[in-house]
């Protein structure tokens, strides 16, 4: 008889757990009334509207919305429904698929709580503070209302635990860019980068996804005490790729290779026959290397050090000594500079002799008459 009454009246029969659809007919502060075809309007308590905290029912639904709901309780004069249960069940299935596939998806940050962020993905998803960014964030307030790309990192349906990560997405993107840059770099390329950090042994330069090292010896053609003497963090510079080790993800760079070297255009800076002042930098068995310009050293061969015979350059010179040298030859291609000290000694002696030759003694004899052909060796 009851079944016949239901058929005549057109009323549906419901049981707890059933999934039904209905239209929102009224919104009150703490509940929503929905027409689901039952003899009374269904009630969706505010706590069953969303997995997140809702202040007002109107924040979650609007009048006229079509909702899919789960029946929680049925009595003759009341039927209680849940939107949250349906959303959560669907969300769990969706999240499990995303977790298995490592899928990236987007969600809006609904709340900032102690220890991280909360998002609504049909249920409550939590992003711990440590999984928001790859860097430390002081204040998360600006994240509220922001849409983030996320990955599921932990799921526990029994504990209703959903842990998400934005950091994992960022790291995956960075890893992808890193490989792209690594594969595109070739030895000899000149590329632009940003100085990331300075160390005792050089500077790390970001090339748009991966860092390369400019060793301190490759910062300048001149001797460098510390990297900060040449570059600063945040500075954009041009660098040359010296080598790429893709297996170990190591890139060697040079800043000095992009700049004119000390030997560049040396033949216009230093002329044959010119007299220069320099500093003795190294003594070797066959001569002395004298720095005449920053980064430019020339060789004074042992035979060009003195007019007298010497066994070793150290008999006459010492490292750090300031000396005058005459340029015998300049070769920019070979980066070779031949110098002489002996030539200056000879020229000095010739000059002194000429001065004496002009002076005759009171008897009318010149210095030449007095010492004869002993002058010949200086005139030749």
User: Do 325 and 371 fall into the same domain?
Assistant: yes
Contact 214, 254 (CB under 8 A): yes
User: Do 151 and 50 fall into the same domain?
Assistant: no
CA distance 305 to 323: 11
Mean pLDDT on 234-258 = 94
User: Among 40, 35, 41, 12, which Cα is nearest to 22's?
Assistant: 35
| Residue the block writes with tokens 């030759």 | 357
CA distance 292 to 325: 9
Higher pLDDT pick, 5 / 237: 237
User: Do 70 and 140 fall into the same domain?
Assistant: no
CA distance 217 to 3: 93
Give residue 41's pLDDT band: very low, low, confident or very high (50, 70, 90): confident
Q: Which residues contact 103 (CB under 8 A, 6 or more apart)?
A: 97, 151
C-alpha distances in angstroms, 329 versus 287, 295, 299, 306?
16, 17, 10, 18
Contact 42, 36 (CB under 8 A): yes
Asked which of 246-255, 332-341, 354-363 is least confident by mean pLDDT, the reply is 354-363
Instruction: Quote the domain boundaries for residue 6.
Output: 2-85
User: Do 251 and 265 fall into the same domain?
Assistant: no
Asked which of 114-128, 191-205, 208-222, 363-377 is least confident by mean pLDDT, the reply is 363-377
Contact 207, 185 (CB under 8 A): yes
pLDDT reported for residue 377: 47
Mean pLDDT on 227-242 = 95
Mean pLDDT on 10-39 = 85
Q: Which H helix or E strand runs over 360? A: none
Q: Which residues contact 351 (CB under 8 A, 6 or more apart)?
A: none
Give residue 184's pLDDT band: very low, low, confident or very high (50, 70, 90): very high
Question: Residue 17: which CATH number?
Answer: 2.40.50.140
Residue 93 lies in a domain: no
Asked which of 231, 258, 285 is the last residue of a domain, the reply is: 258
When divided into structural domains, the chain yields a total of: 4
Mean pLDDT on 103-119 = 94
SS3 state at 184: helix
User: Do 369 and 289 fall into the same domain?
Assistant: yes
Higher pLDDT pick, 336 / 363: 336
User: Do 245 and 269 fall into the same domain?
Assistant: no
């Amino acid at each position: 008889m009851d079944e016949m009454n239901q058929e005549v009246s057109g009323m549906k029969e419901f049981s707890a757990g059933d999934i039904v659809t209905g239209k929102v007919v009224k919104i009150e502060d703490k509940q929503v009334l929905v027409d689901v075809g039952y003899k009374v309007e269904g009630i969706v308590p505010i706590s069953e509207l969303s997995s997140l905290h809702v202040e007002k029912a109107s924040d979650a639904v609007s009048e006229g919305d079509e909702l899919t709901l789960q029946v929680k309780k049925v009595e003759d004069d009341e039927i209680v429904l849940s939107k949250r249960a349906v959303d959560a069940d669907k969300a769990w299935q969706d999240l499990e698929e995303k977790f298995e596939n490592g899928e990236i998806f987007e969600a809006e940050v609904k709340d900032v709580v102690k220890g991280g962020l909360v998002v609504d993905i049909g249920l409550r998803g939590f992003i711990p503070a440590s999984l928001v960014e790859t860097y430390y964030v002081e204040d998360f307030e600006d994240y509220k209302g922001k849409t983030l790309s996320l990955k599921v990192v932990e799921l526990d349906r029994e504990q209703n635990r959903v842990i998400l990560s934005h950091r994992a997405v960022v790291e995956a993107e960075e890893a992808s860019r890193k490989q792209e840059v690594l594969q595109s770099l070739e030895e000899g390329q000149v590329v632009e980068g940003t100085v990331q950090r300075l160390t005792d042994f050089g500077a790390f330069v970001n090339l748009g996804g991966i860092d390369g090292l400019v060793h301190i010896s490759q910062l300048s053609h001149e001797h460098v005490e510390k990297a900060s003497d040449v570059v600063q963090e945040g500075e954009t510079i041009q660098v040359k790729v010296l080598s790429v080790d893709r297996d170990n993800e190591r890139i060697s760079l040079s800043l000095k290779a992009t700049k004119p070297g000390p030997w560049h255009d040396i033949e216009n800076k230093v002329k044959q026959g010119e007299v220069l002042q320099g500093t003795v930098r190294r003594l070797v068995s066959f001569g002395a290397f004298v720095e005449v310009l920053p980064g430019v050293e020339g060789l004074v061969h042992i035979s060009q050090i003195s007019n007298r015979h010497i066994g070793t350059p150290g008999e006459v010179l010492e490292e750090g000594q300031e000396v005058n040298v005459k340029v015998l030859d300049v070769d920019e291609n070979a980066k070779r500079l031949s110098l002489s000290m002996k030539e200056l000694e000879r020229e000095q002696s010739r000059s002194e002799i000429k001065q004496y030759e002009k002076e005759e003694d009171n008897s009318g004899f010149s210095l030449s008459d007095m010492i004869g052909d002993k002058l010949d060796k200086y005139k030749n």
